[in-house]
Amino acid sequence: MSARGSGAAAVEVDVAIVGGGLVGASLVAALGASGLKVALIEGVAADAARQPSFDDRTTALGNGSRRIFESLGLWDAIGPSSAPIRHIHVSDAGRYGFARLDAQALELDAFGFVVTNRVLGGALRTRLAALPALESRMPARCTAVTVHEDCVELHTDPGGLPLRARLAVAADGAGSQLRAAAGLAASEEDYGQVAVVAHVLASQPAEGTAYERFTPQGPFALLPMVGGAWGVVWTLAPADAQRVLALSDAQYLAALQQDFGWRAGRFLRVGARSAYPLKLVRAAQVTGQRVALVGNAAQGLHPVAGQGFNLGLRDAATLAELLIASRGDGTAVADPGAPALLADYAARRASDRDGMVRFTDGLVKLFGDQRPGVPWMRDLGLLMFDLSPTAKRALSRLSWGFGERPPRLAQGSSRVVGP
């Protein structure tokens, strides 16, 4: 490969991915057998307990995401540790509005599969370790980026030679520094809510039912986990979240019981609690010169509908598909950072991103609205939804995203992973 950019010595790669969290690592996995020379820069060692993307949060994977992991040959490592969601119960706390969804009635095996980020991270880490051609800089932070006409130069700490990539992918999360270095603007809206997350054991083990309860402070979700535990995502105003974090385990269980009620029986034990301030971050564009954004670097959503990672995984799967397709039979010299490829990526992701941002943001605002008459309208809406199989069928399609054309990996094609 000829020298480009500043002309100084550098390691030349086709694609450099900054951020090896869930989405960045998934993109590396999808490009694994592509023949492209890929570099990954991740600030935290993959096996570190403090890796923020691979923590104890539970992620509800939609059916489309399951398909992508199947196509990548990773589902065997993830599936046995995931719990299917076969029933969903949605309610407006303290009011009469509710809706129920039953997977079987919609001819689905499940609406999704709940797995901890640690399990997902473990499966991805094992795959990445088996990619000998990967230029892995982990742990290393990307500290400086210069975008040239024909490449992006990335410096890392710890150092070594800089990387020179024809395409740089920002998978470095909602506060993406690569996004900023590429001059791509992002808007940020603080929801004034904090999600307090924990795993809980109850007298009634979780058996395929997910509860989503909307309260004036924010949504409250109980998700079934493998082994019968429940994953709790309790959204609160920041001061209340601090108070809940400071409670003893017994006090936490009592407060949870009071807020959630007895649908899961008596809450018996709780594990470690962690907190996530919630905001909507949205990049105005997902591409710039020789740069593409994926996952939270492109859009960070409220977890109300459990869609952030699912959407980010479709970003990664779509970008991988386009990069691999651009290589044709592997003999042509294709430019992975070509403007046409990046324009294709932006176009392919537009409706899914827009739809998901509007849907999740709309849900948070609709159910947070306490103006006179609004809760009553909501109750009516929920009850009408409960009676409408058509509306339920439409909602269940969210598992595949809003885009007209899901990535090929989500259609069960593994061809995209090979050249």
| Residue 40 binds ligand FAD, judged by CB under 6 A | no
Single-letter residue type at 174? A
Neighbouring-strand partners of residue 116: 58
Cα–Cα distance, 85 to 114 (Å, whole number) = 7
Pick one of 14, 42, 153, 212: the residue that binds ligand FAD (CB under 6 A).
42
User: Cβ contacts of residue 246 below 8 Å, gap of 6+?
Assistant: none
**Closest by CA position to 154, among listed 297, 323, 291, 336:** 291
Q: How many CB atoms lie within 10 A of CB 140?
A: 19
Q: Which is nearer to ligand FAD, 87 or 375 (CB)?
A: 87
- Helix then strand then coil, % of the chain, to nearest 5: 40, 30, 35
Cβ neighbours of 98 (radius 10 Å): 15
Among 40, 41, 120, 317, binds ligand FAD (CB under 6 A): 41
Among 27, 29, 59, 348, indicate the residue that binds ligand FAD (CB under 6 A). Answer: 59
Helix (H) or strand (E) holding 219: strand 218-224
Question: Residue 56 CB, nearest distance to ligand FAD (Å)?
Answer: 10
Kindly state whether residue 113 participates in binding ligand FAD, applying the rule CB under 6 A.
no
CB closer to ligand FAD out of 169 and 375: 169
46 belongs to the binding site for ligand FAD (CB under 6 A): no
Q: Cβ 236 to ligand FAD, closest distance in Å?
A: 12
Q: Which helix (H) or strand (E) holds 129?
A: helix 117-129
Establish if 410 lies at the interface with ligand FAD (CB under 6 A): no
State the minimum distance, in angstroms, from the CB of residue 234 to ligand FAD: 10
Distance (Å) of CA 299 to CA 14, 278, 285, 365, 393? 24, 12, 10, 18, 26
Work out how close the CB of 18 gets to ligand FAD at its nearest, in angstroms, rounded to a whole number.
Answer: 5
**Which of 177, 193, 215, 318 touches ligand FAD by CB under 6 A?**
177
Binding to ligand FAD by CB under 6 A, coded x per residue (else -) over 123-162, reads ------------------xx--------------------
Residues 6+ apart with CB under 8 A from 160: 11, 137
Site string for ligand FAD, 224-243 (x = CB under 6 A): ---------x----------
**Least distance from C-beta 201 to ligand FAD, angstroms?**
19
Closer residue to ligand FAD (CB): 177 or 375: 177
- By beta-carbon proximity to ligand FAD, the closer residue of 57 and 375 is 57
Instruction: Report whether 139 contacts 45 (CB < 8 A).
Output: yes
Q: Does 121 bind ligand FAD (CB under 6 A)?
A: no
358: Cβ contacts below 8 Å, ≥ 6 apart: none
Q: What tokens were used for 285?
A: 């564009």
* 163 touches 153 (CB < 8 A): yes
Residues that bind ligand FAD (CB under 6 A): 18-24, 41-44, 52-53, 57, 59-60, 141-142, 171-173, 177, 195, 197, 233, 276, 295-296, 303, 306-310, 312
